[in-house]
Structure 1
Amino acid sequence: MMRRLIAAGSVALLAGATGASADPIPAEDFSKAPSVSSVSMSLEGDMLVGVIADPTQDGDMRAAAYWDLTGNIDPSKPLLPSNVTPTSGKTLFYGATALKDKKSLWFTVQPYIGALYGCGEGRDTGATKKYLQKVYMGNEKIKKIDDLPDGRAEIGANKDTLRCFELVGETNIESLLPLDPTKIVISRASTKNGTSFFEHDLANSREKFLFKASDTESVLISNRDGSQIALTKLEYEDGAWRQYFSLIDQNSGEMTTEAPLTTEIANRYTMEVDGRQNGTGKYYIVTDKFSDKSAVYLYDPSTDSFSDQPLVAHPEYNVSGLVYSHRPQDFNEILGFSYAGPVSSTYWIDPDFRAIQDGLESAFKDKYVSIVDYNNDLSRVLFQVQAADMPPAWYLLLDKTKVVVIGSLRPWIDQKSLGKGEFVHYPARDGMSIPGFVTFPAGWKDGDKAKGAIIVPHGGPWARDSGGWDDSGWTQYFASRGYIVLQPQYRGSDGWGRELWLAGDGEWGQKMQDDKDDGAAWLVSQGYVDADKIAIHGYSYGGFAAIAASVRPNSPYRCAIAGAGVSNLAKLGN
């Protein structure tokens, strides 16, 4: 099996390389509409849906695509869509989710010019130009895509509320309710009217109102039956914002506030209810209250206590949450856990999934492989492959042995023009270890020296970069032109643990800036670039960093480029 997987993977990888020389990549190659995106597979494994470049038009128009998985599939060639629904008018598809019962959900944006009537940022009267989100339901083979019925009208929502939702609201899938053949749970949220939850029957498009959360509340529902199992609420008391958690008590069946879970927002602890354990009434809690990196603990509402040790932890990275089975035979059992490594990754505990992951990683060496969707018997597994030098591509694993190409985000980019990426740590001047992502110039060999280096700090600053494909396009745009790029995860970056995050407090333009300069010095020390050929470039907070770099004494940069940079901290606030 593994030999066949490796062979198929090698063929698929070769399909992306189209040229023999490494030429600079045009900016348009990064900015035009993706060839394929948002690919999703139904629970039954009988269909895929996704958004593709509209084959009937040039430019940025996109179409809805459907792939039939029920017939014979030839793994020797890419699987083409069975049906394509072009964009209608000015509606732009941007997302798709395969459901079940041969249905799919389609997310679109549409241009709007008009009054907002107090429903969002902009004038109450007169004309404001913006985009509206609209969600459609696709039937079998997406031969027809209809408006998604809005259940709020049936529970008495007035026309102003419905209009506000249309202007500033969004619709999301909360649960596919895998054990029910036709029902799902969706939510409709707006900044003005909170979030309403509905049970939607795919068989007849009828909706049943379940409950509502205010704009300071969030709800966790059971994937078994759609019932509410946890409530999180923000409240301002005694001069501080606090986050309160209410859970279902196993004995009484009532929702009770759990004091041990309460957090003060200013302390910035992670505290998230991830799920509920089968049978025991205990909850899975993701928190970094007890360690530098977040981990998963069991919490017992009947005793108000956490487990002594984490149920799941990673030695180097934050654990993001657990991965639960949607299969009837092991429903809600833990299959693995996700963690925030160089890219968001999953460690599979289940032996079947572990074997599939290992096989795919052997087939796609030095790439990031992630399982996206699967059916009950694992005869159909949708997975994605990407890397710093490979735009995301989607594949189908058939019967655990054959790999079928679905499509790539940007197949027109010659992979020979893309630079390899590497996750590194370098020392700051005070000894703190700083993570970073290096993108080497295309065709880089050991001993080479780049024509120049560009330091690219991320925005936020409470954010982080990822080691996979850079959707902004900047890193590879520079790398294809002979530059080496460093994306420093300077102190103040979120997602690498509390120590690095909190170390940035009060350090704008100071130690946070030192980390970027020390990254530039590290590139020089490695022999990657000459000290007089370094620039800095960033957006938002990264723009501030570029501005700050231009006025600091002994700056290592010959050029600083700020995009949408914060230049007046007094206006930003404390």
Structure 2
Amino acid sequence: MPRPTRFARLLACGAAAAALMLPGLTFAEPSPAITAGAAMTTQAQSAPLIPRDALFGNPTRAAGQISPDGQWLSWLAPKDGVLNIWVAPADNPDAARAMTNATDRPIRQHFWSPDSRAVMYIQDKGGDENFLLYRVDVTSGAETTVTPFENTRVQLVGGSTTIKDKLLLGLNNRDPQWHDVYLLDITTGELELVLENNAYAGFMADDSLTLRMAMQQNEAGGTDYFRVTDNAVEETPFETTAMEDSLSTAPAGYTTDGTTLYWLDSRNRNTAALYAQDTATGERRLIAENDKADIGSTLRDPVTGEVEAYAVNYLTTEWTATDPETRASLDWLDQRLDGDFGVNSRTDDDSVWIVWNDPLTKPVATYIYDRAASTLTPFYVSRPELEGMPLQVMHPVEIASRDGLILPSYLTLPPGSDADGNGKPDKPVPMVLLVHGGPWARDGYGFNSAHQLLANRGYAVLSVNFRGSTGFGKDFINAGNKQWGLKMHDDLIDATQWAIDQGIAQADKVAIMGGSYGGYATLAGLTFTPEAFACGVDIVGPSNLETLLSTIPPYWAPLVKTFHERMGNPNTEEGLALLRAASPLYKADKIVKPLLIAQGANDPRVKQAESDQIVNAMKSAGVPVTYVLYPDEGHGFARPENSIAFYAIAENFLAECIGGRAEPLGDALEPSSAEIVEGEDHVKGLTAALGG
């Protein structure tokens, strides 16, 4: 698709590769009082406390965009305490008005219609991930539900730079397993069926909104790619991947004229390279490659769809421009911006970019870059309240696993703990091992709210790209196949031991924490290696891999082979035994360290039963646990009131366990929906906060 930066990342929902990923958490305002555990360093105790709402509450502004015609600016900002879409004329940003009226769940992403006449967004209900598409007319302010269906999840199949009043959508309202393709008239809302789908996991179109490709998982767990002609799918695939390439090879879109198809491709190699394929002859041309990391993303010309630059993200992100004018612009920005930067949005004529800038130890800022005038105008700072706060440097590090695999990782230290700035504290400190979700995802370099909060509370924070993480080549991904609770877990243990051996972490004061797969890793850490961690915090983590796979959402069914090949096939005796052996549920009686569990009741990925069953098993074994349930949330927390309630509990839990500082709970739970199902007496102040 010619403009992936504007459309694809906003509406492409439900990829199996991100099946267990945890959405970002948001948080609200804490009490000013502080409690501190004995393990706190003097320097960390004296550092100003960063309020939770400054890191995790509603941003002042976020997700800035410019309309394709350059006439409008848009962004997300609070209205009556809930994130909504705001719009202003590009030549008068102060004349902003709220375009939406969300009153419960925040709107977290939006995009412009190609004709610049409307802003559009997706929203689900209570975290159920049945995302519907909405349109708001910029002139009249009228809002319409573009996909007015129940239990339906919209996908964007195609957008166009030349057909500005249409989009191709995928809708699974007929059969929850399959997305039929419809042509949407953005102005009238009319939906015209293009292709009824009963076999394919996804589709790709060109700029003429003509379907060109269908994707289907094959028996090996890879992907078959079929040409589509006159809305009919050919019988024989023109490209195919094996399972080993399924998470590192994918088409990256057509040029506007449809003559070139780009691929990010790891076939016959390790890391994914960028190729251009002639759609008529099938001939492929190598554009870029890197021996340490995959080519991760591209910057494309808004009109032609041709690649102008590409990015490689090993420890940090590095952009390389293939187009001279783009290179000049990136160089110009690099000279004026500290830290990392990227492009949020562009006009169709490519004259104006909306650029984000992460200075790493300052709040993220967004600018309006006029390429013709060579001006960089401040747009907004997302969290101005972080100005002057003791934000800490994130250190990229390489850690060797016991079998020699290099694990790209990120370390943040408490304020004042590293006098010479060499990335090691002057003496060991308590540590939180913060494990990413996915597991087919990755941690990255840059401002990280969780790192900053935990470091500010007195902890070293270590995030590890364990085997199975994406972005480092297919060998690294496939080293994690069927290694849940085995070598994937060993990597986390090895990284923890590295931190202890390096004098970073106190051996008896390491907590493990994470969401989704990171929640699973927490449960695995406390069951498989019960003495390795002082405590754990599990957010929406699966406890039983057998029941996890039996309850996946129906729209993931076309991709289920990936799960079976990478985790274990429950339909075979060997696979079922592997899944059960890797399930913390069956070893719940081995837990001897404090555990905090948080769960969204509407989670479609990791069902509430995953947390319920391990809590019940721990109760039966007489093992204490604290369990917090959110009846209006899904896979993670969208509402700031719920997030702040969770983190208020979590930091008091960690302070008791490994000795950092924490703010008393106070009334943090009152505005939230948090229900303490079990163990309120195991967290300091929790009983009192509940009125007990």
Choose which of 471, 474, 483 in structure 2 pairs with 1:495: 471
In the other structure, the counterpart of 2:144 is 147
In the other structure, the counterpart of 2:201 is 217
Residue deviations 1:520-544, cap 9 Å, x none? 2333444434444433222333233
Give the secondary-structure state (helix, strand or coil) at the position aligned to 2:150. helix
* Alpha-carbon separation, structure 2, partners of 1:280 and 1:102: 24
Deviation at 1:560, TM superposition (A): 3.5
Identity of aligned residues (%): 20
Deviation at 1:53, TM superposition (A): 0.8
Please tell me whether residue 469 in structure 1 is matched to residue 447 in structure 2.
yes
In the other structure, the counterpart of 1:189 is 171
Please tell me whether residue 42 in structure 1 is matched to residue 71 in structure 2.
no
In the other structure, the counterpart of 2:533 is 557
Deviation at 1:316, TM superposition (A): 2.4
- 1:296-307 to 2 correspondence within 5 Å? 296-299=274-277, 307=284
* Alpha-carbon separation, structure 1, partners of 2:221 and 2:402: 36
* Alpha-carbon separation, structure 2, partners of 1:407 and 1:483: 31
* Alpha-carbon separation, structure 2, partners of 1:215 and 1:345: 39
Deviation at 1:481, TM superposition (A): 1.4
In the other structure, the counterpart of 2:88 is 67
Give the secondary-structure state (helix, strand or coil) at the position aligned to 1:522. helix
Sort the Cα spacing of 1:272 and 1:522 in 2 relative to 1 into closer, same or farther, 3 A.
same
In the other structure, the counterpart of 2:225 is 245
Letter of the 2:420 partner, please give it.
Answer: D
Letter of the 1:480 partner, please give it.
Answer: N
Sort the Cα spacing of 1:487 and 1:479 in 2 relative to 1 into closer, same or farther, 3 A.
same
Residue pair 1:90, 1:110 contacting (<8 A) in 2 also? no
Residue deviations 1:21-73, cap 9 Å, x none? 8422233434433322232211121111122111xx2x3x223211211x3x6
Please tell me whether residue 374 in structure 1 is matched to residue 346 in structure 2.
yes
In the other structure, the counterpart of 1:169 is 153
Provide structure 1 residue ranges, at least 5 long, that are not aligned to the other structure. 1-20, 74-78, 113-128, 151-161
Cα root mean square deviation, aligned: 3.5
Please tell me whether residue 227 in structure 1 is matched to residue 227 in structure 2.
no
Deviation at 1:485, TM superposition (A): 0.7
Sort the Cα spacing of 1:248 and 1:562 in 2 relative to 1 into closer, same or farther, 3 A.
closer
Sort the Cα spacing of 1:86 and 1:264 in 2 relative to 1 into closer, same or farther, 3 A.
closer
* Alpha-carbon separation, structure 2, partners of 1:212 and 1:337: 35
Residue deviations 1:205-260, cap 9 Å, x none? 5555544444633111112x111122212355xxx5553212368xx999645656
Deviation at 1:279, TM superposition (A): 7.0
Residue deviations 1:59-115, cap 9 Å, x none? 3x223211211x3x6xxxxx4352224626557433221234442233254758xxx
Choose which of 321, 325, 346 in structure 2 pairs with 1:352: 325
Letter of the 1:229 partner, please give it.
Answer: R
* Alpha-carbon separation, structure 2, partners of 1:198 and 1:565: 35
* Alpha-carbon separation, structure 1, partners of 2:350 and 2:532: 54
What is the TM-score of this pair, normalised by structure 2? 0.64
* Alpha-carbon separation, structure 2, partners of 1:553 and 1:147: 53
Letter of the 2:203 partner, please give it.
Answer: V
Please tell me whether residue 99 in structure 1 is matched to residue 113 in structure 2.
yes
Sort the Cα spacing of 1:552 and 1:332 in 2 relative to 1 into closer, same or farther, 3 A.
closer
Letter of the 1:93 partner, please give it.
Answer: I
Letter of the 2:457 partner, please give it.
Answer: R
* Alpha-carbon separation, structure 2, partners of 1:97 and 1:253: 27
Q: Which has the higher strand share?
A: 1
Deviation at 1:321, TM superposition (A): 4.8
Give the secondary-structure state (helix, strand or coil) at the position aligned to 2:384. coil
In the other structure, the counterpart of 2:510 is 534
Deviation at 1:461, TM superposition (A): 2.3
Residue pair 1:102, 1:139 contacting (<8 A) in 2 also? no
Residue pair 2:441, 2:470 contacting (<8 A) in 1 also? yes
Sort the Cα spacing of 1:319 and 1:136 in 2 relative to 1 into closer, same or farther, 3 A.
same
Choose which of 486, 497, 511 in structure 2 pairs with 1:521: 497
Give the secondary-structure state (helix, strand or coil) at the position aligned to 1:97. strand
* Alpha-carbon separation, structure 2, partners of 1:279 and 1:540: 41
* Alpha-carbon separation, structure 2, partners of 1:212 and 1:394: 42
Choose which of 350, 361, 372 in structure 1 pairs with 2:334: 361
- 1:104-503 to 2 correspondence within 5 Å? 104-107=118-121, 109=123, 111=125, 133-141=131-139, 143-149=140-146, 165-170=149-154, 172=156, 174-175=158-159, 177-180=160-163, 182-190=164-172, 192=175, 194-201=178-185, 208-214=192-198, 216-223=200-207, 225-234=208-217, 241=221, 243-247=223-227, 256=234, 259=237, 261-265=239-243, 268=246, 270-276=248-254, 281=259, 283-299=261-277, 307=284, 310-327=286-303, 331-342=304-315, 346-365=319-338, 367-386=339-358, 388-398=360-370, 399-414=372-387, 416-443=389-416, 444-446=418-420, 448-449=425-426, 451-470=429-448, 473-503=449-479
Residue pair 2:362, 2:386 contacting (<8 A) in 1 also? no
Sort the Cα spacing of 1:360 and 1:210 in 2 relative to 1 into closer, same or farther, 3 A.
same
* Alpha-carbon separation, structure 2, partners of 1:37 and 1:435: 29
- The number of aligned residues is 497
* Alpha-carbon separation, structure 1, partners of 2:60 and 2:247: 40
Sort the Cα spacing of 1:37 and 1:553 in 2 relative to 1 into closer, same or farther, 3 A.
closer
Sort the Cα spacing of 1:146 and 1:411 in 2 relative to 1 into closer, same or farther, 3 A.
same
Residue pair 2:519, 2:540 contacting (<8 A) in 1 also? yes
Sort the Cα spacing of 1:306 and 1:24 in 2 relative to 1 into closer, same or farther, 3 A.
farther
Q: Which is further off, 537-546 or 270-279?
A: 270-279
Give the secondary-structure state (helix, strand or coil) at the position aligned to 1:535. strand
* Alpha-carbon separation, structure 1, partners of 2:441 and 2:386: 28
Deviation at 1:294, TM superposition (A): 0.8
In the other structure, the counterpart of 2:487 is 511
Deviation at 1:455, TM superposition (A): 1.3
Sort the Cα spacing of 1:393 and 1:166 in 2 relative to 1 into closer, same or farther, 3 A.
farther
Deviation at 1:515, TM superposition (A): 1.9
Sort the Cα spacing of 1:552 and 1:335 in 2 relative to 1 into closer, same or farther, 3 A.
same
Give the secondary-structure state (helix, strand or coil) at the position aligned to 2:108. strand
Sort the Cα spacing of 1:442 and 1:169 in 2 relative to 1 into closer, same or farther, 3 A.
same
Residue pair 1:62, 1:86 contacting (<8 A) in 2 also? no
Residue pair 1:425, 1:436 contacting (<8 A) in 2 also? yes
Give the secondary-structure state (helix, strand or coil) at the position aligned to 2:69. coil
Deviation at 1:425, TM superposition (A): 0.9
- Greater relative contact order structure (CA < 8 Å, 6+ sep): 2
Deviation at 1:554, TM superposition (A): 9.4
Residue deviations 1:152-177, cap 9 Å, x none? xxxxxxxxxx6xx33333264731x2
Deviation at 1:370, TM superposition (A): 0.4
In the other structure, the counterpart of 2:619 is none
* Alpha-carbon separation, structure 2, partners of 1:206 and 1:567: 44
Provide structure 2 residue ranges, at least 5 long, that are not aligned to the other structure. 1-45, 549-575, 580-692
Letter of the 2:84 partner, please give it.
Answer: A
Give the secondary-structure state (helix, strand or coil) at the position aligned to 1:332. coil
Letter of the 1:510 partner, please give it.
Answer: L
* Alpha-carbon separation, structure 1, partners of 2:306 and 2:57: 41
Give the secondary-structure state (helix, strand or coil) at the position aligned to 1:441. coil
Sort the Cα spacing of 1:105 and 1:186 in 2 relative to 1 into closer, same or farther, 3 A.
farther
Letter of the 1:231 partner, please give it.
Answer: A
Deviation at 1:559, TM superposition (A): 3.4
Residue pair 1:322, 1:337 contacting (<8 A) in 2 also? yes
Sort the Cα spacing of 1:148 and 1:567 in 2 relative to 1 into closer, same or farther, 3 A.
closer
Residue deviations 1:465-498, cap 9 Å, x none? 122333xx32211111121111011112223212
Give the secondary-structure state (helix, strand or coil) at the position aligned to 2:480. coil
Residue pair 1:263, 1:269 contacting (<8 A) in 2 also? no
* Alpha-carbon separation, structure 2, partners of 1:46 and 1:283: 31
Please tell me whether residue 82 in structure 1 is matched to residue 96 in structure 2.
yes
Letter of the 2:171 partner, please give it.
Answer: A
Q: Which is further off, 95-104 or 287-296?
A: 95-104
Residue pair 1:91, 1:108 contacting (<8 A) in 2 also? no
